[in-house]
Chain A
């Protein structure tokens, strides 16, 4: 029987079992790296650096994980904090670096067309709307969970998701159903 995240966390807590932590990293690396790639506007190298920071911080602070939320939600929160701290350092919280958008792209986004336009449209959203849409519509978090991750009120999350989706729909109107 496969161990649950809670079982693995318990092993890390009790025995400092790094193999158990490795299994947690393996399970969640794709989701965390994916979220960070979207938040960093597909800067793969930066996203992976932040993902490493996220898991190292999770390991150091694993005692503060109380199991009230899903482990993945807790990780998203750490990842978002890592991203925000880095963005503050780089002063890139607002504004779009068009040059960066043109020169860097995610190698896993091989499909041109709709996928490309969607990624581009997402990257054009303001950070607050982009992060809310990513967490709720892509990562499958509830509004409440997203509010915890982003550390903002529930109503603000709902507003940001709504506005973000409306903007995406407008930007992708040519691809939508007629």
Chain B
């Protein structure tokens, strides 16, 4: 047996199994609440706030008249403006997607 084998064996044997002794339980105690319950609560709050804001906007805007006015204005826009708006929206979405992909890559 050469010296390298001897050293490797000693190094491996110098790392005995460490008994759990409550370690796993301590880690689990510190985990955040399970996502499912948390997500349901968040979804309910978001839905409630969205409904409330929509109702408020409907009342304040005089029964939603602003929607038809906005649609009329959009329809009256020149084709070039519509194209620019669509392009800007697309670029913004692509930028957000790229940023999310980069942050995911860094996290891993």
Q: Mark B86-108, 1 if CB is under 8 A from A, else 0.
A: 00000000000000000010011
Please give me the residue from chain B that is nearest to A24 by CB atom: B24
Separation of A60 and B7 alpha carbons in the complex (Å) = 38
Grouping DSSP codes into helix (H, G, I), strand (E, B) and loop, the A interface class, with mixed when no group exceeds half, is: helix
Known contacts A18-B34, A165-B4, A169-B7; is-contact A138 B12 (Cβ 8 Å):
yes
In the complex, the answer to whether B18 meets A16 with C-beta atoms within 8 Å is no
In the complex, the answer to whether A34 meets B15 with C-beta atoms within 8 Å is yes
Q: Mark A3-26, 1 if CB is under 8 A from B, else 0.
A: 000000000000110100110011
The total of interchain contacts (Cβ-Cβ below 8 angstroms) comes to 92
Number of interface residues of B (CB under 8 A): 32
Q: Which of A97-136 contact B (CB under 8 A)?
A: 108-109, 114-115, 118-119, 122, 133
A114 partner, pick from B10, B27, B36, beta carbons under 8 A: B10
In the complex, the answer to whether A177 meets B6 with C-beta atoms within 8 Å is yes
Binding site for B on A (CB under 8 A): 15-16, 18, 21-22, 25-26, 29-31, 33-34, 37-38, 48, 51-52, 55-56, 59-61, 63-66, 108-109, 114-115, 118-119, 122, 133, 137-140, 165, 168-169, 172, 176-177
Question: Which 10 pairs from chain A and chain B are nearest by CB?
Answer: A64-B108, A16-B35, A64-B107, A30-B18, A25-B24, A137-B11, A138-B11, A55-B27, A34-B15, A26-B24
